[in-house]
């Protein structure tokens, strides 16, 4: 889609750590226009003053509905919580605003429901468990390896403020692995956990382990084992700037979509 005017963007969760990085990215790209932010506790406050004391001329409003009604943005970028994102996506559908969502924690049933409704409405949207290009490549490489080395476990590591476990990235990786490998129940058939949860969560016969510690951002390692050999595929986001090229790409790509897309890997060649 060729546009003479910038894509107008609303940001839900702009005061959060990811949201602040989104705001910085929007301000640096002349093809994007940051028009409004959403935070019920900062209603009427200038976004720049809440972030670093400077004035941006863009204010917080109390709700996503208010942002849509007053500013009619092209795109909503959402980095909020699993409890609110589903409602935000329903409102985006109602107001014909295209969502770019980095919030994880939606259930498979919610994803299926939203995908159906967006497809029927012909409205584009993107939900991405991870916007780091390296993380997307990690997922794709893991799916490639699983075809030939089906014994696998996933270890994902995040900061201790993350609300959902396992991460959306780990779940998406597990989904891709499951599609690529033959059905296999790993481990000894008489294996027994002497402490509940010691072996992690089970997904289609293999395990996912979640680590939550201060000092971390977002990390994932996919471990494969075979006779006489192992393979490790690891990605590390050192800071939240690593996600911004993917968010930028998604904002521009979503303008050309007519359905809801799950996973940024769908935008890569």
**Per-domain residue ranges of the chain:** 7-127+241-267, 133-238
- What is the structure's pLDDT at 269? 66
Per the CB < 8 A criterion, the answer to whether 208 and 220 are in contact is no
Q: How confident is the model at residue 52 (pLDDT cuts 50, 70, 90)?
A: confident
pLDDT in tens, 14-38: 999 899 999 999 999 999 999 999 9
Catalytic annotation, residues:
158, 162
CA distance 237 to 240: 7
pLDDT in tens, 217-256: 999 999 999 999 999 999 999 998 999 999 999 999 999 9
What's the average model confidence in pLDDT over 68-83? 95
Q: How far is CA 257 from CA 69, 109, 131, 174, 265, in A?
A: 23, 22, 18, 26, 15
- Which overall architecture, per CATH, does domain 7-127+241-267 show? 3-Layer(aba) Sandwich (3.40)
Query: Across all residues in the chain, what is the average pLDDT?
Result: 93
Task: Return the percentage of the chain with pLDDT > 70, whole number.
Answer: 99
Just give the CATH number of 133-238. Answer: 3.30.360.10
pLDDT in tens, 99-121: 999 987 888 899 999 999 999 99
Q: How far is CA 136 from CA 73, 183, 214, 240, 267, in A?
A: 28, 23, 24, 15, 10
Helix (H, G, I), strand (E, B) or coil at 156: strand
Q: Hey, do 7-127+241-267 and 133-238 end up sharing a CATH topology, with the first three levels equal?
A: no
Output DSSP code: residue 195: S
Entry pTM: 0.81
Query: CA-based Rg of the chain, rounded to a whole angstrom?
Result: 20
Per the CB < 8 A criterion, the answer to whether 257 and 125 are in contact is yes
């Amino acid at each position: 889609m060729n546009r003479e005017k910038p894509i107008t963007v609303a940001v839900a969760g702009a005061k959060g750590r990811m949201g602040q990085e989104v705001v910085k990215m929007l301000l640096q790209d002349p093809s994007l226009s940051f028009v409004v932010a959403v935070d019920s506790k900062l209603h009427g406050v200038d976004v720049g003053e809440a972030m670093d004391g400077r004035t941006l001329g863009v204010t917080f409003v109390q709700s996503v509905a208010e942002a849509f009604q007053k500013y009619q943005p092209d795109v909503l970028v959402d980095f909020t919580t699993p409890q609110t994102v589903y409602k935000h996506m329903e409102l985006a559908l109602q107001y014909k605003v295209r969502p770019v969502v980095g919030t994880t924690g939606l259930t498979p049933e919610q994803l299926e429901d939203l995908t159906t409704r967006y497809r029927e409405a012909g409205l584009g949207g993107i939900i991405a468990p991870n916007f780091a290009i390296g993380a997307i490549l990690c997922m794709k490489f893991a799916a490639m390896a699983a075809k030939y080395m089906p014994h696998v476990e996933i270890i994902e590591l995040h900061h201790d403020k993350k609300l959902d476990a396992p991460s959306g990235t780990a779940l998406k990786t597990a989904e891709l692995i499951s599609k690529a490998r033959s059905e296999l129940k790993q481990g000894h058939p008489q294996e027994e956990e002497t402490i509940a949860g010691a072996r992690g969560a089970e997904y289609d016969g293999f395990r996912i382990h979640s680590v939550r510690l201060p000092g971390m951002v977002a990390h994932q390692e996919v471990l494969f084992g075979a006779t006489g050999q192992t393979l490790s595929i690891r990605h590390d986001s050192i800071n939240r700037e690593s996600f911004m090229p993917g968010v930028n790409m998604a904002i521009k790509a979503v303008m050309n979509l007519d359905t809801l897309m799950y996973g940024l890997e769908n935008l890569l060649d």
